[in-house]
Every structure is written in structure tokens, then in C-alpha cells.
Chain A
């Protein structure tokens, strides 16, 4: 069975500090991977997607970047956090090229102070 793991579970960071969030998928080969952001009490907004190692497409610009160093790993990062980066970050995967059925991880709660 496939499992999706996100780390850390929660982070409290200062404005201007760097950030790195991770996501690992086990049990699926060559999944499509996605990063989403969710404001507290809000909807989900897709940030990035990747269909293969080393390839990442940006969907919205939020002063964040993403990388896919391994087939089963997706990293979200920034060098300088903003207050507006606070929220819930979710990693998702899909198997089909169209990305219709997407399955989400448990999320990372980020608080920027």
C-alpha cells in the first residue's frame, strides 16, 4: 500500500528565515507530485506540480520554490519567509498523467511570526 509522509509536522519560523518542507511517497513508482497551500479555514491552492525527477512546474508565484531530487521526494523551500506564507502545506500524488485522482498527505502546519 502507498504511504505519503510529510515533514516536519509543524514549524514556527521567523519572518526572513529560510524554510524547507519535505514530502515522500512510498509504494508508488513515478507518481505525479503536487504542492498545495491552504490558509487557515480556507480553500486549497495548487502551487507546484512535477511529473518526473528534476522537473517542476510553478502554478502560482508565492516567493516559494520546489524541487524533485528523487522519484519519491518533493521539496518546498524559500530563502526568506513572509508573514503571508503561514498556513497548511499539503503534498499530493496521482498516478495518471491527467492528475485527476489526487491523494493528499497529512500536511505541515507553518506559522511565520
Chain B
């Protein structure tokens, strides 16, 4: 059973549009949620993260919205650029375990 779910599996937007990537989880003990961006053939890079005590985290064009009650998050990428085309992974972790649980990823394609 996938503990961290992501949707859609793939997403195509036009340059300048806002891309919305969704994530949900089962385990209520998860309290930290990083998002990773991965380009083909490269290791994933930490993009932005949020702790469960917050409901929003913003970093430039990237914003995480977090709904603890519904166990849902979303990553909004505003003014999408072709260079944002990549696979985005939502992950979750509980306390001090060190064990990051990853979703299956959303592949984003930004068309110029």
C-alpha cells in the first residue's frame, strides 16, 4: 500500500501557466514533507519543504499548500517555465526516524 500518493501521474501545461501537483498521505504521524525535483539521469534535488505545523510555504514561484485535517498537500508552480519540466516527488517523514517515504512522482512537461 502506497503511503504517499501523488496525482496526476503526468501533467502538461503551457509556459506561464500554474502547474498544480497533488499529494496525499495515510500516516498521521508524518510531520515533515519535502518535495524533490528530478531531471532525467540526475539525483533528485530538494526543492521546497513544509512542516505539519504550517499550512503554507512559499519560495519564489513554488508554493506548498498543506491541509493537515485532510492529509493533503499540493505544490503550485506559478509562471511555469520549460526548464521546470521534470519529475516531482512528494515525500514524507515521521519525527526522527530518518526514513523518507516517497510518492510515485508526477512528471511535468511545460510547453513553450
Contact = CB atoms under 8 A, between A and B. Distances in A.
B43 interface: yes
A101 B97 CA distance: 12
Contacts of A97: 96, 98
Contact of B42 (A32, A42, A45, A106): A106
Given A34-B98, A59-B99, A107-B42, A100 B32 contact: yes
A99 to B, nearest CB: 3
Residues of B contacting A: mostly: loop
Interface stretch (B18-26, B44-52, B53-61, B64-72): B44-52
Contacts of A42: 104
A98 B102 contact: no
Nearest to B103: A43
Contacts of A45: 102
B102 A94 contact: no
A109 B34 CA distance: 24
A44 interface: yes
Among B45, B46, B49, max chain A CB count under 10 A is at B46
Interface string B93-112: 10111111011110000000
16 contacts: A46-B99, A49-B98, A59-B99, A90-B43, A94-B98, A97-B96, A97-B98, A98-B32, A98-B93, A98-B97, A99-B93, A99-B96, A100-B93, A101-B46, A104-B45, A105-B43
Interface of B: 32, 34, 36, 41-46, 49, 89, 93, 95-100, 102-105
